[in-house]
Structure 1
Amino acid sequence: MKVSVVMPVYNAEDTVLQTLESLRAQTFQSMEIIVVNDGSTDGTLDILRALPDIKLLDHSHRGIVPALNDGLASASGEYIARMDADDLCHPERIEQQASFLDAYPDIGMAGCRVGFGGDREKQAGYAAYVDWINSLIEPDDIALNRFIESPFAHPSIMFRRELFEQFGAYRDGPFPEDYELWLRWMANGVKAGKIDQQLVTWNDPPGRLSRTDERYSIDAFYKTKAEYLFQWLEHHNPHHPEVIVWGAGRVTRKRVAILEQYGIRITQYIDIKSRQLNCGTPVIQPSEIPDPKTCFVLPMVGKRGVRELIRPILNERGFTEGINCIFAA
């Protein structure tokens, strides 16, 4: 078996059949569909039991991480593809991603562009996030932007099975399980790329876990990436543990405090406004940024559109992402 598709399901009687039909319509034949019913209390299990061409695992309700790991343990494929029970695959998705991993043995994870299956007006924030992840295609772009937000839609991923065997599977905790996995694998040198085609429709229903569960809150995302950002700075910041942080607002300083717990020392803040901080750290304006040979800049302004203003300023002053600056949020 070349590909195992792992799909956890919980109370998805309204969508699961359509999702499975999109998988059963794939042009790729050497695949198995593993559905883990996580103790559904609606009619989901009856729907699944009527389908002869899926591998069904039925367990009590324990949550998405145990369900995902049960699916991984049952998988026989060389590659593992993820899918959620309320999204849709385009017919060539599995074939395209498997071919991509075959063609690029140095790539461990293959994503794709995703279509936003929601109301762009009512769900503008999520739609903007989809646009952002769709802009990250090349491995270097994905790696350099991974500390801003998760660079993948979870159900769009296919990865080599040896990754979870070598670096561990999903971890359960007060954090987004997929983002933690990508950060952990990339910290171990795993390269990730994307197919520049829209192969998955990523729906955004009101009950999606990322909207309702505290593990997917903004604070949970930041606490997750802070540890891996610190590890990255340890290895890549020639002035470690000192950094200059771009952004001096309350939210940025709250997040900086988490980094400081790891031992990072903020020597200066960059802000377009002159202000005094009660922490005693100097605030400078963009025109006062030191020479890139003498410092490392960590832009941490999360407001939409601001990164696009910061990048050309740093580029003009000779900074290179991944060498003497990296963006986080």
Structure 2
Amino acid sequence: MFPKVSIIIPFYNCSYVQQAVESALNQTYPNIEVIVVDDGSFKHAYKLRPYLKDITYVRKANGGTATALNLGISRAKGDYIAWLSSDDYFLPEKIERQMAFMKERNADFSFTNYHYIDKDENILIPWCGKRFTNDYREVYLYFLQGNPVNGCTILVKKSILEEVGEFDPSCRYTHDYDMWFRLLLSGCHMHYLDEVLIHFRTHEEAGTSKFQPQIQEEILMLETKYRPLLGPYILGLY
């Protein structure tokens, strides 16, 4: 039996969206659905036309990535949720490898490493993410320093997300970081798979390039809010 995995692709005026969709559709895992949430795009939506028979396409007014993810998750029929930004792409065995890893550990949440690539797919930084052993407590501890989880590497049970609530749209750039803190504080163990299973792209229009001051401001706000709560929780793990 292969539980269904819903791959959510938020999309807003991104020229790379075809590659993201193809990488999702070309997964070796046999039971997936691909949901593209168009967050009010006025460019590049025509690139989705060849895939409309194979994906679920949802269009909404522009509201930011958190709102697109929330809508995609609400429409998802899968037991598990994966998130793929429209400018990144999965390697073919991403879902298959991660599902097998989670089954072995009876895990509800996992994340992986990734290569950092440029607009032409040249690898700028291989294995760009922080690497851990399989001890989930290391991940908890690292959250006292920074965010080690690239959102596009995650695979998570949908029921876990439903328990902690939606991505927070008021965190326009750090809705993922906010969610990870909330999951950790709910008792969700984040298991790390030490494999590169996605390519994460930097380019001139990427939000991480254009909005660094706003991102840093939100990061400081979240760390000030959550780290005092997380510290005592971590002590209880040892």
Name the TM-score class by shorter chain. 0.7 to 0.9
Overall identity of the aligned pairs, in %: 24
Aligned to 2:142: 145
**What's the TM-score once normalised by structure 1's chain length?**
0.65
- Tell me which moved more, 85-94 or 217-226: 217-226
In structure 2, the partner of 1:8 is 10
Root mean square deviation, CA, Å: 2.4
Are the counterparts in 2 of residues 114 and 134 from structure 1 also a CA contact under 8 Å? Answer: no
Judged with a 3 Å threshold, the aligned counterparts in structure 2 of structure 1 residues 28 and 237 are, in CA distance, closer, same or farther, namely closer
CA distance in 2 between partners of 1:223 and 1:206 (Å): 26
Write the letter of the residue equivalent to 2:35. Answer: I
2:165 aligns with one of 152, 168, 172: 168
The 5-angstrom pairing of residues 237-248 of structure 1 reads: none
Cα gap change, 1:236 to 1:96, in 2 (>3 Å): closer
SS in structure 2 at match of 1:173: coil
- Work out whether residues 185 and 233 of structure 2, in 8 Å CA contact, stay in contact via their aligned partners in 1: no
Aligned residue pairs total 230
The amino acid that maps onto 1:94 is I
Aligned to 2:67: 66
Sort the Cα spacing of 1:161 and 1:109 in 2 relative to 1 into closer, same or farther, 3 A: same
Matched AA of 1:210: T
Which one has a bigger Cα radius of gyration? 1
**What is aligned with 1:303?**
none
Relative to structure 1, is the Cα distance of residues 236 and 42 closer, same or farther in structure 2, using a 3 angstrom cutoff?
closer
Q: Contact 1:34/1:71 (CA < 8 Å) preserved in 2?
A: yes
Deviations 1:12-52 (A, max 9, x none): 1x2111111111211111000000011111132x2223311
Question: 186, 207, 216: which one pairs with 1:188?
Answer: 186
Q: 1:220 to 1:137 in 2, by over 3 A?
A: farther
SS at match of 1:86: coil
The one-letter amino acid paired with 2:157 is: R
Conserved 8 A contact 1:145-1:151: yes
**SS state at 1:172 partner:** coil
What per-residue deviation string (whole Å, max 9, x for no partner) do you get for residues 214-258 of structure 1?
Answer: 6852232121022211112345679xxxxxxxxxxxxxxxxxxxx
Q: Does 1:158 align with 2:155?
A: yes
Contact 1:3 1:77 in 2 (8 A): yes
Aligned residues of 1:27 and 1:92 also touching (Cα < 8 A): yes
SS of the residue corresponding to residue 195 of structure 1 reads strand
Structure 1 contact 39–59 (Cα < 8 Å) conserved: yes
Contact 2:132–2:194 (Cα < 8 Å) also in 1: no
Q: 2-side partners of 1:204 and 1:21: how far apart?
A: 19
In structure 2, C-alpha distance between the alignment counterparts of 1:62 and 1:38, rounded to whole Å: 7
Question: Aligned partners of 2:235 and 2:94: how far apart in 1?
Answer: 38
Q: From the superposition, tell whether residues 104 and 216 of structure 1 become closer, same or farther in structure 2 (CA, over 3 Å).
A: farther
CA shift, 1:197, in A, is 1.1
* Higher relative contact order, chain-length normalized (CA < 8 Å, sep 6+): 2
- Is 2:139 the counterpart of 1:102? no
Aligned residue for 2:130, secondary structure, equals helix
| Change in CA separation of 1:237 and 1:140 when aligned onto 2, cut-off 3 Å | closer
